[in-house]
Amino acid sequence: MNSTSAKSKQKYLELLEHLYDALHADIGIVIRTDNIELTRQKLYAIRKAFTPEFDGLSFLVSPDDLKTELWIIKNAPNSG
């Protein structure tokens, strides 16, 4: 395995761990990243691959830090 694919796999596992952390948190978690949009795209891809396990999570850019802070939050349960 070359270093690029090893880094890619490590990043994938890190993002997967963030999703599990958010799933088990009361509301969600905050992560820091140097590329908000790329991180969101990767999170959406992982969420799609693990459907329905992560369907209840949303990815929002923090209004406090638009460049480096991403929120992974639980969606409100459906009432009805």
Q: How confident is the model at residue 3 (pLDDT cuts 50, 70, 90)?
A: confident
pLDDT of residue 80 exceeding 60, the answer is no
Q: What is the pTM of this model?
A: 0.88
Q: What dihedral do alpha carbons 4, 5, 10, 15 form, nearest 10°?
A: 100
> Distance of CA 17 to CAs 10, 31, 47, Å?
11, 11, 12
pLDDT digits 0-9 by tens, 39-48:
999 999 999 9
Q: What is the mean pLDDT of residues 62-75?
A: 96
pLDDT of residue 73 exceeding 60, the answer is yes
